[in-house]
Amino acid sequence: MRHILVINPKGGSGKSTVATNLAAHYSHKVDRVALVDFDSQESSLEWLERRPERYPEIVGLAGHKDGMRGVNRSTDVVIIDAPARTHKTELTDLINRAETIIIPVQPSPIDMDATAKFIDELSGYKKVSSKQLKIGLVANRFKENTLIWDRLDNFLEKQKPPYIAAFREAQNYIRAYTRGLGVNELPEYLAWPDQQQWDPLITWLDSKRSQPK
């Protein structure tokens, strides 16, 4: 069983977008996928309620109520959607569960400052410093040809965790969310630019670079 934690203590970074799209992707690759929503707003679970029955099943769990207790041992991949303002005991509990962390970052000075502090906080965990847990950064909801996008791109390149992928702001994410789908499940003619932007992250997740030693 593999646990992928999507987290950034800064609210509005697009954690649920990343988490739901990862769950949709892995639902086509493995037998059992669980999506555990630790945010009381339950955005990921609301997405899952919209999912058509003809698509591969994803088990949804309200982690903010029951923790990880409902995850079946036969589950192949667990996607954990962390809440905003996760620190101290709650953060420690989630880190202890995960093998891989993905940190989405939006193009704003506030988000970049918060992410820098969070990366510094993570570095204090033995599981991170001993490389038992792998961390990847992704740019989220960027608009091309803007100064703030250039700034975010440069910021992520300078961080110690690897900068894996960048996802543009696009209507396809709204289309997918309202249908309970991932962008990979939208028609290729409609969503191919966004589908291609996920390739680097998926390649990294499936490579040894994102697996603990």
159 three-class SS: coil
- DSSP conformational letter for 125: S
24 is in which domain, residue-wise? 2-203
Round to whole Å and give the CA distance between 56 and 28.
7
Cβ count within 10 A of residue 9: 18
* 210 vs 141, higher pLDDT: 141
Whether residue 185 lies inside any domain: the answer is yes
What is the pTM assigned to this prediction? Answer: 0.95
Residue 9 CB contacts under 8 Å (≥ 6 apart), including other chains: 84, 85, 86, 87, 114, 118
Average pLDDT over residues 72-94: 90
> Running DSSP on this structure, what letter comes out for residue 182?
-
154: phi then psi, degrees, rounded to nearest 5: -65, -40
Binned at pLDDT 50, 70 and 90, residue 89 comes out as confident
Interatomic CA distance for residues 186 and 139, integer angstroms: 21
Better pLDDT: 153 or 91: 153
Answer yes or no: is 166 within a domain.
yes
* 209 pLDDT more than 70: no
Average pLDDT over every residue of 142-167: 96
CA dihedral 200, 204, 207, 209 (to 10 degrees): 140
User: Domain containing 163 — which CATH number?
Assistant: 3.40.50.300
In a domain, 70, yes or no: yes
- Residue 146, domain member (yes or no): yes
Whether residue 212 is contained in a domain is answered as no
**Domains identified in the chain, total number:** 1
Q: Answer whether residue 211 is part of any domain.
A: no
Mean pLDDT, residues 95-117 taken together: 95
Q: Is 209 a domain residue? A: no
Q: Percent of the chain scored above 90 by pLDDT? A: 82
Q: Is the pLDDT of residue 208 over 70?
A: yes
Q: What share of the chain is helix, strand, coil (3-state, %, to 5)?
A: 45, 20, 35
| pLDDT band per the 50, 70, 90 thresholds, residue 212 | low
Does any domain span residue 115?
Answer: yes
Residue 30, pLDDT above cutoff 90: yes
